Amino acid sequence: MRRIQIYDTTLRDGAQAEGISFSLQDKLLIAKRFDEMGFDYIEGGYPASNEKDSAFFARMEGHLLHHSAICAFGMTRRKGLKPEEDPGLESLLNSGAPVVTLVGKSSSFQVREVIRATLEENLEMIRETVSFFVGQGKRVFFDAEHFFDGWKADPGYSIEAIRAAAEAGAESVHLCDTNGGSMPEQIAAGVRAVLDAVPVPVGIHAHNDCGMAVANSLAAVDAGASIVQGTVNGFGERCGNANLVTIIANLLTKKNGAYDLLLPDSLSRLTRLSRYVDEVLNVKSSPRQPYVGRGAFTHKGGMHVSGISRNTSSYEHIDPELVGNERHVLVSELSGRSNIAARTEKYGIADNPDLLNRILDVVVRKENEGYSFESAEASFDLLVRKSMGIYYPHFERINYHTNAASGANGVIETTASVKLRIGNIIRHEVADGDGPVNALDAAMRKALTSVYPEIRDMSLIDYKVRVLNSEAATAARVRVVIESKDDDEIWGTVGVDENVIEASWIALCDSFEYKLSKMRKDNR
C-alpha cells in the first residue's frame, strides 16, 4: 500500500468561504479533532493576516499533538525585499509552526500580469524564500499557485518554478488548480510531468469550480501524488475546495486497498467528524453530501426499499456503517408496503399486509393534505400507533389561546394559555414567551410537568414553516415542522393548517405525546 498524507486547510482556506467565520476556540477544537483522526498536516492560518491566526499559533506552540504537524501559511517574499526584511515572513517565523507552507506563482501569466515581475525575479523570490526558512530550521512546503493553468499555457516555466523550490530545499511541492478549471486527465498529466522533473513528493490542491475537485484529487493520487490538500466538507472560496471527507472515503473504499492513510479506525468516524465541524461552525449539514450526508443512504421509492430489504447492495454502494453513517427509510405518497414495513419493524407487522395497506392509505391521504413525514418521524410513529389501535393519548387538548401586544417600551409581548385534560384533572395554564409558539410550549410544560416530570428534560430545538399553496395568499395552508430532543434522541413532528398557530399547536402536541409514549410504554 502507498501511504497518502492528508493536509487539511479548513482552518485557513475554508475560512475564506462565504458565511464561515472561526473563533479562536473553534479553531482549537477542530484542530484537536483532526489530530485524533490522524491528519498528517493541519494548516492553522496565515499569521500575517489577522490577530486570531497569530493567537492560534501561539496557543498551539508547544501543545502536544499526537499525529498532526501544524503548518503556517504565507507567501514568497515581496518583490524588492530581502527575506529577512519582509514582515510577512517574519510573522511566519515567529508563529512557532514547525512547517511553513509558502505559496508562489508558477504561471508566467500570473507573474507578468498580477505581481508585475520578470520571470527570473519570480524564480529568485521562490529560491530565496525557501532557502531562508530552511536555513532557520523549518520544514518547507511549496504551494505552486495556478500551476495547472500555467503548465497548460507555458509548461517550461511552470516546471522551472517547481524546480526552483525543490532545489532550494522544499520538502514537497503541491500543485494548485487555483481557478478550479482543470479536468482529471489534465491533472494526471501535470502530476506525472512534475514527478519526472523533481525528486521530492508531489501534492495536489484542487478547487471545485467545475465540480471536479474530488475527481481531480483522486486522479492526482492515481498519477503518483502522495499528499492531498483539501477541507472538511469542501469549504472554501467560490465553489469551495476539494472535500477531504469524500476523498478519504473514496481512497479507503474504492481503490482496492491500494492506499494507506490516517489512523486505522478513521473511516468509521468520518460522519461524526463532518457533522462536528458543521456543528462548531453553526452550519446546516448537507443531507446530500456523499458518504456522510443524512440522505446518502436514505431510501424513499418503494422499489428501492423493497430491494434493500432483500439485499442492501441492490441500492447502496457500501455499507453505511463503514463511514459511521446509517440507513434511513422514508415514507411518503411514493412509498410502497416495503417502506412501511421497514419503518415499522419494531412493531412486528411486516406479515400483516392489511395493516400495512391501511397505514399507507393514511400516509397518502395526509400527504395529499400537505403533511410530510420525511423529517417528522415522531408524527409518523404516532400515526402507526393510531392505525394499530394502540395509541392512548396522555392528555386531551381542550383549547388554547395566544395573544401578542406591544408593551410600554415597544417590545412585542406574547402570552399563551392552554387548557388540557389529564385523566380526570383539567389543567389551565398561562405563560409568556418569545413569540406564540414559544409561549405555547411554555404553557404546555406548566400544564404537564406536575403529572409527567419527564417533560423537563425535553426541549424544542428547531422550528420550520413552509407555505404550501402560496397562490392562495392569506388563505394558504402552511406546514410546520418542529424538532425536539431529550437526552436520548432528536425527533420531528409535523402539523398542517391554514392557520400557522394551529399547525404549530398540532406539531407541538405530537412532540409532547411522542416523548411521553416512548418514556411510558404501557401508557393506558
Q: What pairing do the DSSP bridges indicate for beta strands 2-3 and 259-260?
A: parallel
Whether 524 shows a pLDDT value over 50: the answer reads no
408-417, 469-478, 480-489 — which is least confidently predicted?
469-478
Question: By CB neighbour count within 10 A (0-12 exposed, 13-18 middle, 19+ buried), where does 378 fall?
Answer: buried
Grade residue 332 by pLDDT with cuts at 50, 70 and 90. low
Q: Cell 489577522 sits at which residue?
A: 50
Whether 522 shows a pLDDT value over 50: the answer reads no
H or E element at residue 177: strand 172-177
Q: Cell 402536541 sits at which residue?
A: 509
For 99, how many CA atoms within 13 A lie in the half-sphere containing its CB?
Answer: 18
Q: Tell me, what's the pLDDT at 15?
A: 95
Alpha-carbon distance 67 to 34, whole Å? 9
Whether 521 shows a pLDDT value over 60: the answer reads no
Q: Taking the mean position of all CA atoms in its chain, how far away is CA 307?
A: 29
CA angle 486–488–492, rounded 5-degree value: 60
Q: Taking the mean position of all CA atoms in its chain, how far away is CA 93?
A: 33
Mean pLDDT of 8-27: 94
Mean pLDDT of 339-352: 83
* Nearest C-alpha neighbor of 202 from the set 164, 169, 175: 175
Grade residue 518 by pLDDT with cuts at 50, 70 and 90. confident
Q: Tell me, what's the pLDDT at 217?
A: 98
Torsion angle defined by CA atoms of residues 110, 114, 116 and 118, in that order, rounded to the nearest 10 degrees: -10
- Report the percentage of the chain scoring pLDDT > 90: 75
Q: Domain 2-263: give its CATH code.
A: 3.20.20.70
Whether 363 shows a pLDDT value over 90: the answer reads no
Q: Which residues of 248-271 are buried (b: 16+ CB within 10 A; e: fewer)?
A: bbbbbbeeeeebebbeeebbebbb
SS3 225: coil
Q: Tell me, what's the pLDDT at 6?
A: 98
Grade residue 523 by pLDDT with cuts at 50, 70 and 90. very low
> Could you tell me the sign of the dihedral formed by the alpha carbons of 166, 170, 174, 179, in that order?
negative
Alpha-carbon distance 154 to 55, whole Å? 40
DSSP structure string for 380-410: HHHHHHHHHT----SSEEEEEEEEEEE-TTS
Identify the top-confidence range among 58-67, 213-222, 374-383. 213-222
Alpha-carbon distance 242 to 234, whole Å? 5
Query: What are the grid coordinates assigned to 86, written together?
Result: 519582509
Q: Tell me, what's the pLDDT at 122?
A: 98
Q: Tell me, what's the pLDDT at 345?
A: 82
Mean pLDDT of 471-481: 77
* Nearest C-alpha neighbor of 455 from the set 522, 506, 395: 395
Q: Tell me, what's the pLDDT at 89?
A: 97
Query: What are the grid coordinates assigned to 276, written together?
Result: 462536528
Beta-bridged to residue 227, according to DSSP, are: 5, 203
Q: Please give the order of strands across the beta sheet that includes 490-497.
A: 459-467, 478-485, 490-497
pTM: 0.75
* Nearest C-alpha neighbor of 13 from the set 55, 67, 53: 53
- Do residues 340 and 360 make contact, with C-beta atoms less than 8 angstroms apart? yes
Alpha-carbon distance 372 to 322, whole Å? 30
Q: Tell me, what's the pLDDT at 364?
A: 85
Q: Tell me, what's the pLDDT at 247?
A: 98
Residue 28 vs residue 476, higher pLDDT? 28
Identify the top-confidence range among 83-97, 274-288, 352-366. 83-97
- Do residues 75 and 104 make contact, with C-beta atoms less than 8 angstroms apart? yes
Q: Tell me, what's the pLDDT at 298?
A: 86
- Do residues 138 and 171 make contact, with C-beta atoms less than 8 angstroms apart? no
SS3 314: helix
Q: What pairing do the DSSP bridges indicate for beta strands 412-422 and 425-433?
A: antiparallel
Q: Tell me, what's the pLDDT at 413?
A: 86
Grade residue 368 by pLDDT with cuts at 50, 70 and 90. confident
Whether 329 shows a pLDDT value over 50: the answer reads yes
SS3 329: strand
How many residues are listed for the chain in this entry?
524
- Do residues 26 and 16 make contact, with C-beta atoms less than 8 angstroms apart? no
Mean pLDDT of 477-497: 92
- Report the percentage of the chain scoring pLDDT > 70: 95
Residue 342 vs residue 20, higher pLDDT? 20
Whether 403 shows a pLDDT value over 70: the answer reads yes
Beta-bridged to residue 198, according to DSSP, are: none
pLDDT in tens, 185-244: 999 999 999 999 999 999 999 999 999 999 999 999 999 999 999 999 999 999 999 999
